[in-house]
Chain A
Amino acid sequence: MDVLSYLLIPFQQPMLILLTAVGTFAGVYVGAIPGLSATMAVSLLVSFTYGWGTYESLALMLGIFVGTVYGGSRSAILLNIPGAPSAVATGLDGYPMALKGEAGKAMGIATTQSVIGTVLGIIVLAVAAPVVSKFAVNFSSMDYLLLAVMGMMMVGSLNCKSIFRGLLSAAVGLFVGTIGMDSMTAVRRFTFDISYLNSGVSFVVAMIGLFGVSEALIQITSLDIKGVKQKVDKILPSLSTIKKYIPLTLRSSAVGVLVGALPGAGGDIAALLTYDQAKRTVKNPEVPFGEGAVEGLVAPESANNAAIGGAFIPMLTLGIPGDAVTAVLLGALQIHGLQPGPNLMTSSPDLFYVIVSVLLVASVFLVVFGLTGVKLFTKIVEVPKSILMPIIIILSVVGSFALRKSLFDIFWMLGFGVLGYFMKRFDYPVAPCVLGVILCNLLENNYRRGITLKKSIGGLVGSIFTEPVALILFLVIIVMVGTQTNTYKNWKKKREEKRAH
């Protein structure tokens, strides 16, 4: 059994286990700081581990990868500042839980779900990589466009006072997303000849400002309210709780793996899609979505971690990165003399299974490090606001600067902070705005690609009906819209009444 012996390699070398543990531990804390991303951490490690053996450097980098993806949920739950774009959806229900004194419970669920999601992702990677990668390669521009449209549908799922306010906020986000040099024609849009605007506005910067700084500003004006005392007696969710959410976990993880495997979309999109899907399909949550629904944590946290396994699928089967981190890892493999590509699985099968195995080890450590620090972390929410809020602003400045080392990003971030403050004050939701900035590129570029390929809008729309993936995605969107209409709701109500008789 070659496979088994490859899988066991990390267990024969305690150093590999240790490095994975160190990586996971560091990742949880790096990931919790907005602006410090998995991509950044892993690319620093590429130079750091240059002289190491391939397995050793992989163990450290994979540990960091798994840790940071999870770590993003920490700050989202505790402070309403997502540590990474993939944790945006986590904060929507995680933060309300913290406000109710349930931060410990929220982090416990985020941990177990992240671990389950990671493991499910790894299982798909281990058994179905070739099939999924074929699916990913054949995902056309039209399919990406429909995926982006599905993402935009989430505006309807975010708690807004009115749909108009949600749409306006999303429109602002989409507009911000168009700023900068157009990647297709190099035309500069809304840059006013300032070269630093050429690269556009990073959505991480928008995210930090709109969530972090605006929250700090809001809270500074209500300092007299005391921090919420947190319950920390029951952190680990009971087995029956986990069992209860198994169907949602499986569904969300499946979406996570598939979207993660797409070279053009990753964990952030997966988390948003599954949150939306959970909100639409879970009929009677114990607590309404947006006010601390457990389902609102389960879906995105399973999905964004399952996307890790997904991202490795095209990387290991085709040599094509599934996201930014796997792109860095590809570079690292080449530095170590390996040739990633379609032949990698046959030329170095050990590598594939060592990666699978190390990822599994990392998810075990995720349980350990995810749960041990929780009590200490919940103390953050109890810190007096006059101390906590300035710290949040500092972290936001640091995070947005660390991203690209650009002073302009700090200005943008602060500007978004003020914008977010006024939006919140006047009851405009900020989440659709972040959604708009995140999805703008996916939406615009794939639409333009589609038009170039199909020559006309008619041709593009027509292609929905000739390509199976596009047709399925289109039908999902139709169902999503259809079930929200009054006609459908009335019909359903009537049917239920009839049944009751």
Chain B
Amino acid sequence: MTDRAAVQVCDLRMSYGATQVLCGVDFEVDYGEVFCLLGPNGAGKTTTLEILEGFRRPTAGTVRVLGLDPAAQPARLRERAGMVLQECGFPRQARVAELIDLWRTYYPNPRPLADLLEVVELTEARNTQVKRLSVGQRRRLDFALALAGDPDLVFLDEPTTGFDPEARRRCWAAIENLRRLGKTVLLTTHYLDEAERLADRIAILRSGRIELTGTTQEVAVLAGLATRISFTTPAALRCGQIPLPDGIDLAVRGSESVCHSGNPGMTLRLLLDWALQHSLGDLDGLAVTAPSLEDTYLQLTGAGAEPNLSQANGDRP
């Protein structure tokens, strides 16, 4: 059995009765990488995660996590993989450090307590009763418990859903700490900024299918989204005294001129040559904006139509 990737998912299918939740999902997560399953609610993110965690047996397809079959060897998997479920309570009378210490006894090679407290920034709250923790602190305690066995891989299911900005920021810091420890992290989220901020690679899951996989930039390119180039419309252009540049589909919108390109380097060269030719200098207000994950996501999930999309695609040289 190959163990080249931390997580290997091949043609994963899952049905509940007649409802097909996953229709052939494929992806791989490399060791040491932070991988994000991004998708709207109901896309199948949690189902995928629960299969990888060994809580559900898939209808079809193969899954390997750290070289193990999660459904067949859940106990061995749980010694090496930490799991943060979406919602999960704590024993009512527990205190922070005590609970982490109890969790450490469950694992063959636990991480030191002080270390765990530090990673999740709960050192000061170590003697606090769990029921007195804030939402964000509770989530970070979730992380600490998932890390207690010093796992190679950590699953995080929607780690910051419903959090205020400060709580999110501190959870993100804790996840960044996981990356620094060299842990492989597989997280699900429906927040674009979270995926963009944390993930090395992203897979966009929609209606039980992976639409795209790659880095933020790769995903945008794969989605056929173009780079946006804009500048302040020169007076001469606005009055029609000079022609539009050749080979560029430039839209003059009052004070701003905009074009989209799948090859921004070449388009910029053409644009600057044209500017030089007509003595426009360096084009005031020149801005080059890479397509954001949001653009990609909205296009794929159809949550909002990007008005210039067809035009942008038509621009590609």
Asked if A and B are interacting partners, one says no
Q: Which residues of B does A touch, CB under 8 Å? A: none
